[in-house]
Amino acid sequence: MTDRVTQAYARLREADRPEVFVHLRDEADVAAEYAESLRRGGELAGVLLAVKDNVDVAGLPTTAACPGYSYVPDADAAAVAALRAAGAVVVGKTNLDQFATGLVGTRSPYGAVRDARRPEYVSGGSSSGSAVAVALGIVDIAIGTDTAGSGRVPAAFQGIVGIKPTVGTVATTGVVPACAEYDCVTIFARDLPSAERAVAIMATAPGGRSWPADVPLAAAPGAALAVPRDLPELDERWRAAFAAAVEQARAAGFTIVEIDLDDFLAAARLLYDGALVAQRWDAVGEFVEAADYGDQETGLDPVVAGIVRGAARFSAVDLLRDRAKLAALRDRAMTVWGDCAALLVPTAPFHPTIAEVAADPVGVNSRLGTYTNFCNLFDLCGVAVPAGEVVESDGSTAQFGVTVLAPAGHDAVAADVAARLTGTPRDPSSPSWPEQAGAQAFPLIVFGAHLHDQPLAGQLTALGARWAGPVSTAPEYRMTALPTQPPKPAVVRCADGGASLEGERWVCSPAALGRFLAALPAPMGLGSVQLADGTWETGFVCGDDAASAAPDITAAGSWRTHLAAALV
């Protein structure tokens, strides 16, 4: 039973990455807990978990990569508690850019976290240790945090998946704040289904943001996908990699729409160059101000200290002005976004070496946030996925990644787009991760023109409905062909002479279902339909008078069979 634990600790030793973990639990303790996890069962039974060291794990020190800040919490952070309750086993606490301030993974007294494949390159930060622990196969999933890209940039550099949910969807209780208003708890995994399963569980923890009533549950098959018209900071090789990703999106059926990112990029600069950075001071400013730069026990990183101390120079008026500026930028940016389901961007514009970061720690870090810094400021959700490789000028190969961004609450859309981009198989009967996390969703049974390949299916996909596969009714229904445009069937329940009819299930939000019903023309309506398994779900029904006046096609058994016979 403990072979997985033995393999994990052996992998860490073989990889020679002592800087990945700030606190590594004793192997025997983890093995015992792992065996107990398998015995108890649970959705994550036997899953090994690493936790970024600004997120509390009961009984383990939380340092935020600053020894002098260390404390030992009595309780798990909300997200950790949810994963452990589902069976996940914590291996240890991972290294990070101190106080989650940075995108490089080098700003830590516990050592610069090196890239999993190219040790002379940075791992990406601030969730550096978490991403590398997953990439090396030491753990199955890892918790990160993301304020400016910390849950996405490391995912790109390590060739793994990073999900950054809508701000507040996962409770931040037990997380050392960076910029509390914009902080997100994130997850890393080697594949999208594992990441979705974990983030769904984390999002069930108390204290998270409620799902809106109109939450979309999928992207439409031919949805529009926005991409940047210009790509600042990318060289020719990285531009070519992104162009290939865009073509992959086109091949997956998306309509590509080029947009200008000027307002997005202007907002990105506000995060550190403007008064919004004052939240860094609010989080740890008093500690930093009192700390001694030269005190080894304190372990304060000078770059991080400079950023936090510099945040104290802003006034309340400065902050109000920058908030107003941010709101204006967001309004303009979302107007440019238009009706696109999502925005596809390079996760990072380049992959620097540790030496390059040391030579210009602030400048390189700022460039890395080009396509990430604006995300939480605009209340977007994001899914970072691998998208190939780039052969660098030195002959080494870098991992390339893209991020799918979507509006707040549209997490299922971002995940759906990411799945189609990466060719990840989807089981239509499986709910999206927001549904698993409590987003309200109602089934709708259809029989005719709203089947997924029929003319009116777009009315449902436009409302964010998710196709959930075929169904059959109880053997007590009949079907007639209504003389409408486009043609559609009427399905009615009958006392005798009925049959089991084939249909399909869609799933949609309560608001979407209400809008759909309000627009439904007579004689169609919604009512309860009994399925073959005896359950009842909402579906299309028709008045007896209209149904009786139309030709009976019950013998066909389905609308598609009827249409096929009519063409013969």
User: Could you give the CA distance from residue 353 to residue 123 in angstroms, rounded to a whole number?
Assistant: 9
Q: Helices in 360-502 by DSSP H: which ranges?
A: 361-368, 374-377, 411-422, 433-436, 457-461
User: Could you give the CA distance from residue 399 to residue 401 in angstroms, rounded to a whole number?
Assistant: 7
User: Could you give the CA distance from residue 37 to residue 521 in angstroms, rounded to a whole number?
Assistant: 54
Strand order in the sheet with 524-530: 466-472, 502-508, 442-446, 536-542, 524-530
How many CB atoms lie under 10 A from the CB of residue 20?
A: 28
User: Could you give the CA distance from residue 174 to residue 55 in angstroms, rounded to a whole number?
Assistant: 6
Of 108, 123, 150, 194, the catalytic one is 150
How many CB atoms lie under 10 A from the CB of residue 297?
A: 10
ω into 18 cis (within 30 of 0): no
The residue count for the chain? 568
150 catalytically annotated: yes
User: Could you give the CA distance from residue 192 to residue 215 in angstroms, rounded to a whole number?
Assistant: 20
Separation in Å, CA 543 to CA 475, 486, 491, 549: 19, 18, 9, 10
Residues 6 or more apart in contact with residue 179 via CB below 8 angstroms: 147, 271, 276, 277, 279, 280, 283
Q: What is the DSSP letter of 520?
A: P
108 catalytically annotated: no
With b for 16 or more beta-carbon neighbours within 10 A and e for fewer, the 429-447 pattern comes to eebbbbbbbebbbebbbbb
- R_g (Cα) of the chain, nearest Å: 26
- Residue tagged 């160059």 (tokens): 273
Q: Helices in 47-191 by DSSP H: which ranges?
A: 78-85, 128-135, 153-158
Contact in structure between 411 and 397 (CB atoms under 8 Å): no
Give the HSE-up count for residue 385: Cα atoms under 13 Å, Cβ half-sphere: 25
Contact in structure between 464 and 215 (CB atoms under 8 Å): yes
User: Could you give the CA distance from residue 481 to residue 349 in angstroms, rounded to a whole number?
Assistant: 56
Contact in structure between 494 and 477 (CB atoms under 8 Å): yes
Query: Would you state the structure tokens that stand for residue 226, as one six-digit string?
Result: 């926005």
Of 108, 126, 194, 432, the catalytic one is 126
Of 37, 52, 123, 509, the catalytic one is 52
How many CB atoms lie under 10 A from the CB of residue 166?
A: 26
Across the strands, what pairs with 478?
492
Strand order in the sheet with 255-259: 21-24, 89-94, 48-52, 141-146, 184-189, 161-164, 380-391, 397-407, 342-346, 224-228, 255-259
164 catalytically annotated: no
Contact in structure between 156 and 123 (CB atoms under 8 Å): no
Catalytic residues: 52, 126, 150
